[in-house]
Amino acid sequence: MATNNPQLQGWKQIAAYLNRDERTVKRWEKQRGLPVRRIPGDGRANVYAVVAELDAWLGLTALALETESPDNATDDLDTDSELDLKATLPDLPVDTAQVHDPLDSANVAQPQVSNSRSRFSSSGHRIQWALLVSVALVLMAAIVVRAFTTSGSTSTHSKSVPDSSLTRLSSQPGVNQLYLQGVSLYEQRTPAALDQARLLLMQAIARDPQFAPAYAALANVYLLSREYATMVPEDAYAAARAAADRAVALDPNLPEAHASLGFIDFFSDWNPAAATTQFQTALHLDPNCIVAQHWYGSMLIHQGRYPEALQHLDIAQRLAPTSSAIQATRALALGLNGHRDEAIDMLQSITANGFDAASPHRILAILSLVEPHQTASFLLQRQRVAELRHDQQELTILAAATTAFHRAGEQAMWASILRQERTLNPDPTHPNDSIVQAEAELCDDQQALSDLDLLAKEHDPMVIGIPMDPVFLKYHGNPSYEHVMLSIGLHSPQH
């Protein structure tokens, strides 16, 4: 093993380096994007990690905390690990500094628990983490790793790379190639490709901590991981904002970074005005910024502004005519704007041509609930999304719902979904969007509207998609529904 590119072999060494138990670091890999690699083949010790990537990840995780206010910093309750800052920072050696995950809540005194999330209330911890951010960034800047060669060849498609980023090149050996490979991979939008893209972009950042496009691309990886994989949305948005903010700090004129911040402002913070400013800034800097045109169009769809959305998506598709992801988003706008059959044909063609990612199947599931319902298609498409995201819990729910549908019809299907969701989420004060959808379809309107209000108050990330969901069209104009929409900065599409 080369001393200038240290590696940790197996979960035990990785856990020891992070001062955590193995179960915690395995969870971090799945939910927070901890950069762990796998050696091809079988065997117990088939995982390893590059220390440079772990240090870069720790730095971004610490930065994520700094982007949040104390009232908004959230994470899963941990019962299997504790934060223990026993040593003062000046005593920590550079190569073994135990920089802990700032999102770990185990040592937060008297947490306020809401929807199985804990909230930070200690200013002392924020001061400690402000210092840790500085240490992590020094570590990132000090890392020097030797040239990295990926196992197997990864094709690079320049048309998938934002044009403005092509004019911003790193002077460090190998960084530009790592960046291009990372962007090419995340365009595939599969869990495995996103995971590999994250590793490559972490490598690029470790080699050149001043290379802004890599941070912007990494932000996009996190944003896509909450949709196409199973990364917890709160963690994904926090990590994405940290990376995008770093990109803007390094290069204020990087349009892709502003586009990422626009996506976060709308879909995470529910701030359409701030999001619009970011998207317009990105397009002012570069009208041909593909990701800005695409994600601005996606925001407009969620606002029910379908003709405007199509204008931006048409531009994005002309700029990247082979992008299946853009075609899928455009199909959603068409389908919700009264052209369901055309949209379904487009989406089926996309999947038939090899883009078997979660997005087109999710959109097909949404469009199947446009009247008249195509219930069998809804089940099949939702099942495919769960398969692609490796969501076993969702697959279990859908298996029972499919049996109920074939036995007794659509209402029995929704009743099955509601029953199972309530079993998994027994606290009536903390529903989820699937519960609300089932209640609406079962015509329990009072409960559906009440639970929708609870979701909005808890800032559930799925609420932003409610206005475009065909299930809730019947509520448009209802005062209770409109009150909820206004609370998240939106109106019904008919307004």
Q: What confidence score (pLDDT) does residue 341 get?
A: 95
Radius of gyration of the chain (CA): 23
User: Cα–Cα distance between 90 and 138 in angstroms, integer?
Assistant: 13
Nearest to 24 by CA among 81, 107, 105: 81
Residue reference for tokens 């992590």: 136
Structure tokens at 147: 């040239």
Fold topology of 157-306: 1.25.40
User: Cα–Cα distance between 101 and 129 in angstroms, integer?
Assistant: 9
Could you tell me if 79 and 232 are in contact, meaning their C-beta atoms sit under 8 angstroms apart? no
Q: What confidence score (pLDDT) does residue 15 get?
A: 85
Q: Along the 495 residues of the chain, how does pLDDT read in single tens digits?
A: 344 557 888 888 888 888 788 888 888 877 677 888 777 655 445 788 877 677 767 766 655 544 444 444 333 333 332 223 222 222 222 222 322 332 233 332 222 323 332 222 333 333 333 334 433 433 443 333 333 333 333 333 334 444 565 568 999 999 999 999 999 999 888 889 999 999 999 999 999 999 999 999 999 999 999 988 888 888 899 999 999 999 999 999 999 999 999 999 999 999 999 999 999 999 999 999 999 999 999 999 999 899 999 999 999 999 999 999 999 999 999 999 999 999 999 999 999 988 888 899 999 999 999 999 999 999 999 999 999 988 899 999 999 999 999 999 999 999 999 999 999 988 888 899 999 999 999 999 999 999 999 999 999 888 898 888 999 999 999 999 999 988 888 765 544
* Dihedral sign of CA atoms 224, 225, 229, 235 in order: negative
User: Cα–Cα distance between 270 and 338 in angstroms, integer?
Assistant: 26
User: Cα–Cα distance between 269 and 257 in angstroms, integer?
Assistant: 17
* Dihedral sign of CA atoms 340, 342, 348, 354 in order: negative
Q: What confidence score (pLDDT) does residue 399 get?
A: 96
Domains of the chain: which residue ranges? 7-142, 157-306, 425-495
Nearest to 25 by CA among 41, 40, 8, 39: 8
Q: What confidence score (pLDDT) does residue 120 get?
A: 26
Kindly compute the dihedral angle of the four CA atoms of residues 306, 324, 231, 170, in this order, to the nearest 10 degrees: -110
User: Cα–Cα distance between 97 and 359 in angstroms, integer?
Assistant: 40
Q: What confidence score (pLDDT) does residue 24 get?
A: 84
Please give the model's pTM, rounded to 2 decimal places. Answer: 0.69
Q: What confidence score (pLDDT) does residue 305 get?
A: 92
Q: What confidence score (pLDDT) does residue 493 get?
A: 53
3-state secondary structure of 2: coil
Beta bridge partners of 7: 50
User: With left for phi above 0 and alpha for psi between -120 and 50, is residue 242 left, alpha or beta?
Assistant: alpha
